[in-house]
Amino acid sequence: MLKDKNGLPLNNERLEFLGDAILGAVIAGELYKRYPNKKEGALTRIRARLVNRINLNELAVKMGLHKLIEAQTHSNPKQTHIPGDALEALIGAIFLDKGYKAASKFITKKIIDKFPNLNEADAKDSNYKSILIEWGQKNKNEIHFITEEYPSQKDKCDPEFYARAFMNNELIGRGKGATKKEAQQNAACEALKNASSLRSISLN
């Protein structure tokens, strides 16, 4: 096991943090270029499908990363979020060693291009709000939304809605949309991506 200068075991948390940021930036950039006609909400939902923990775990296992992991757990790594975390750490390491261009190439080839029917990912109409609420009920976490209506900046006749998703009164997601429902769905989508405690949720 690798150790730091003090003789303590190294972990991947800092690399995971960096890799997660690079992953999000690369995917956002690729989707923006590939789908110039899709709106923000659609791009957000497609991104969420690419980076959800189930997808990252499956890709990491196919790469064989789970065989290289030393973890302080008795659980099978394939049944945890650890492979996906390792994949994020690997992305962080590639970025530090080879730079953004190399990390972008790796993410595009190993993650984005591996997703089947990427162009249709947003058409599956996943009910992110229901997924989030169901998880909350199962794990005894209170989920609620606050939605506000504002005049549209583009057309004063049509309002815009801004929603915030909370778990146990902690803000975990934001979203906006032309309707209250769309705003809440986008907020729930972001919550499912960003909340580390929700990593085991499947969006499929």
Residues assigned a catalytic role = 20, 88
187 touches 175 (CB < 8 A): yes
Strand partners, 150: 160
Q: SS3 string of the chain?
A: CCECCCCCECCCHHHHHHHHHHHHHHHHHHHHHHCCCCCHHHHHHHHHHHHCHHHHHHHHHHHCHHHHCCCCCCCCHHHCCHHHHHHHHHHHHHHHHHCHHHHHHHHHHHHHCCCCCHHHHHHHCCCHHHHHHHHHHHCCCCEEEEEEEEECCCCCCCEEEEEEEEECCEEEEEEEECCHHHHHHHHHHHHHHHCHHHCCCCCC
Nearest-10 Cα torsion for 42, 45, 50, 53? 180
